[in-house]
């Protein structure tokens, strides 16, 4: 369950190479990789020639444009009599002629008939003036008579290129853009229906099942899929059919996408990967066309794998809302997927892997056997799984001798692969800032505090507010130490972190997946310890218990309305499923029942608060002792906190606890109890 950027082994040569996706090929020696399109396919040979033609055409037009004479460079057309006058006046510098056409240059600029001023001129000698002794006059006025041919203007080819060149350039650019959009599948006018899936041809891959840990049961299921792709005849001779699809569901960060990449790497088959949102466009019908194109590509490369991430973007149940715009487009896309996965033609040799965080919203037709034959839930890892994940993420991280991954895994219940990778990365960053050559246990402990408790805030508290915060956190900690079955107190601090002025961190000794009523009531008692301590010591209360009240209200309401832990409500679920609180209507709960739920929640919270006040009053000395230790040291670890509170050892004799850690803050966000 390591994340997608994990290396596959301690091979030092592999570590020096940049990370690559599945199917990427290592180039031998120093040879550069061949030119490819965006979708990973080789660039056609003609594309280079087309580029060269386009460049030559552009340069030719630029050169010819520079050769076009401007209005200032045109010759001044003058009458023959005016020319004779300028020769007589000595203003003609040179002439050249062919037949009756005479061209030349004036010594000074001349303006004629509102044209000019200009030095270059042209005139035509009349036929009847052949004996006017022009040559003698030119020689007399010292005019240079040269033998250069006259300027007859641009050639026909140059005129043709200048006239049609820009048009040809525009047409060539349009053709190039259309070819580029079609080849890249970038949603151009000619490629709206082309699939945007990226294809990776498996060869030397960077992700395999060696990079997956902590979810062995899911891994075993997928290994059978890989074996089917490698040796299909072994299954076909027994009548087993090719599986159509595998749906991976689970909370974010558990490794669903990583599992799909590991399957592609192990199976050694072409792998088409894309997100479900890439099917949908503003134009209705484009998504269905892209689905057809994707399955056509996969069938041509069969056996192959199609991976669709975030399937719920297009796979939601049909029938809700109107049939306009994006809703109609999404339904058409979903219908096309249903047809491709199990239609008349089928998809022989193509396995569809899909991942989603919300399988409950998917359409029933998508989940039936024959489409997604297997539905695998990727859960958060247990302690052993977290140890394996930490071992994967620390392959390239130098660890100090005092680092115990078993202890790190025990202090991170509820964390998934992405969380553990972030923990190791934060520890490495802290070690680098401190100038360490190895990541120590202290670096990882500080990284865990930063992630769970938040970053330290550089603010100055008044002596009175600092003392009140110490009593508040001591109230949480003392009740956590006294309450049977409570999570052990791991750290108590009055250093401001995140939104909180102080924190009390509790985490369970072992993983647990079910909660009894006594444990839940103990959670409420511990969360109310801060408010009870303030009232006991000062006789009044502050706003510091905001997040505590949100937390206890959430736990008590679930006890009453979801878990049947109230004799008044009975064994009836009156709350919507988690994440669907806005759709309260379908449960058809009456107003009287809702009012009864509110009264029961209030009763449970008030009873737990009275219990918290009584326990703190009976253990006032422990509260005062822990408070003074906090005011002196500001932060107390587990052993120091238990010792300051008057307990003989650093862990309470508690029963197995919650799978998530508990953080009591002042003030701060509530820590919701995970659903059983």
Q: Which residues are catalytic?
A: 473
The three-state secondary structure class of 344 is coil
Nearest alpha-carbon partner for 142 in 75, 79, 91: 91
Upper half-sphere CA count for residue 612 (Cβ side, 13 Å): 31
Q: What are phi and psi of 255, to 5 degrees?
A: 110, 25
Q: What are phi and psi of 496, to 5 degrees?
A: -60, 130
- Measured CA to CA, the distance from residue 312 to residue 34 in angstroms comes to 37
| Cα three-residue angle 321-322-328, rounded to 5 degrees | 105
Structure tokens at 564: 């049947």
Structure tokens at 511: 């993983």
Q: Please, which residues have CB within 8 angstroms of residue 41's CB and are 6 or more apart in sequence? A: 199
- Measured CA to CA, the distance from residue 554 to residue 535 in angstroms comes to 23
Are 97 and 143 in contact by the 8 Å Cβ rule? The answer is: no
Q: Please, which residues have CB within 8 angstroms of residue 657's CB and are 6 or more apart in sequence? A: 485, 486, 487, 488, 508, 509, 510, 512, 519
591-618 and 517-527 helices cross at what angle (nearest 10)?
Answer: 70
Nearest alpha-carbon partner for 555 in 662, 430, 634, 436: 662
Structure tokens at 377: 């839930």
Cα–Cα distances (Å) from 8 to 63, 205, 217, 289, 396, in that order, read: 57, 9, 20, 37, 11
- Measured CA to CA, the distance from residue 198 to residue 622 in angstroms comes to 63
Nearest alpha-carbon partner for 352 in 362, 364, 367: 367
Structure tokens at 76: 């001044």
| Cα three-residue angle 464-470-471, rounded to 5 degrees | 95
């Amino acid at each position: 369950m390591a994340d997608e950027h994990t290396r596959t082994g301690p091979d030092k040569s592999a570590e020096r190479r940049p990370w690559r996706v599945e199917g990427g090929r290592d180039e031998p020696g120093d040879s550069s990789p061949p030119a490819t399109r965006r979708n990973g396919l080789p660039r056609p040979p003609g594309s280079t020639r087309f580029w060269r033609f386009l460049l030559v055409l552009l340069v030719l037009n630029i050169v010819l444009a520079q050769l076009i004479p401007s209005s200032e460079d045109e010759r001044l057309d003058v009458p023959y009599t005016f020319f004779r006058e300028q020769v007589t006046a000595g203003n003609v510098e040179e002439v050249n002629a062919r037949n009756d056409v005479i061209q030349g240059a004036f010594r000074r600029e001349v303006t004629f008939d509102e044209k000019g001023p200009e030095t270059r001129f042209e005139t035509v000698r009349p036929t009847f003036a052949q004996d006017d002794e022009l040559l003698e006059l030119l020689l007399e006025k010292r005019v240079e008579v040269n033998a250069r041919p006259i300027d007859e203007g641009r050639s026909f080819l140059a005129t043709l290129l200048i006239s049609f060149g820009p048009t040809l350039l525009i047409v060539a650019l349009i053709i190039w853009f259309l070819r580029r959009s079609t080849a890249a599948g970038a949603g151009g006018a000619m490629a709206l229906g082309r699939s945007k899936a990226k294809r990776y041809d498996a060869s030397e891959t960077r992700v395999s099942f060696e990079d997956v840990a902590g979810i062995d049961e899911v891994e075993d299921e997928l290994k059978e899929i890989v074996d089917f792709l490698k040796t299909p005849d072994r299954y076909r001779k027994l009548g087993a059919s090719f599986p159509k699809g595998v749906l991976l569901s689970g909370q974010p960060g558990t490794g669903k996408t990583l599992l799909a990449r590991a399957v592609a790497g192990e199976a050694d088959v072409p792998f088409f990967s894309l997100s479900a949102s890439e099917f949908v466009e503003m134009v209705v019908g484009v998504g269905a066309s892209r689905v057809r194109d994707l399955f056509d590509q996969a069938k041509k490369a069969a056996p192959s794998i199609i991976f669709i991430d975030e399937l719920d973007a297009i796979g939601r149940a049909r029938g809700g809302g109107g049939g306009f715009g994006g809703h109609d487009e999404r339904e058409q896309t979903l219908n096309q997927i249903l047809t491709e996965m199990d239609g008349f033609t089928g998809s022989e040799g193509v396995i569809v892997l899909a991942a989603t965080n919300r399988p409950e919203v998917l359409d029933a037709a998508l989940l039936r056997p024959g489409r997604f034959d297997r539905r695998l839930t990727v859960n958060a890892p247990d302690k052993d799984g977290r140890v394996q994940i930490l071992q994967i993420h620390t392959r390239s991280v130098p660890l100090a001798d005092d680092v115990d991954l078993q202890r790190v895994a025990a202090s991170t219940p509820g964390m998934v692969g992405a969380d553990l990778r972030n923990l190791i990365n934060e520890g490495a960053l802290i070690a680098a800032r401190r100038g360490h050559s190895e990541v120590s246990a202290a670096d990882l402990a500080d990284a865990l505090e930063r992630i769970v408790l938040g970053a330290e805030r550089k603010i100055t508290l008044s002596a009175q507010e600092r003392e009140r915060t110490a009593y508040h956190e001591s109230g949480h900690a003392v009740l956590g130490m006294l309450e049977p079955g409570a999570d052990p107190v791991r750290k108590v601090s009055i250093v401001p972190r995140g939104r909180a002025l102080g924190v009390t961190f509790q985490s369970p000794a072992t993983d647990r997946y079910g909660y009894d009523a006594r444990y839940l009531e103990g959670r409420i008692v511990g969360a109310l310890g801060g408010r009870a301590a303030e009232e006991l010591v000062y006789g009044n209360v502050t706003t510091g218990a905001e997040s505590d009240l949100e937390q206890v209200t959430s736990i008590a309401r679930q006890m009453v309305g979801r878990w049947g832990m109230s004799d008044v409500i009975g064994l009836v679920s009156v709350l919507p499923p988690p994440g669907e609180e806005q759709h309260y209507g379908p449960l058809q709960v009456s107003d009287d029942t809702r009012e009864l739920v509110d009264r029961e929640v209030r009763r449970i919270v008030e009873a737990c608060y009275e219990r918290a006040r009584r326990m703190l009053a009976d253990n006032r000395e422990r509260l005062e002792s822990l408070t003074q230790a906090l005011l002196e040291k500001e932060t107390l670890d587990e052993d120091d906190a238990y010792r300051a509170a008057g307990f003989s050892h650093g862990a309470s004799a508690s029963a197995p606890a919650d799978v998530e850690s508990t953080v009591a803050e002042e003030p701060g966000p509530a820590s919701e109890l995970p659903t059983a």
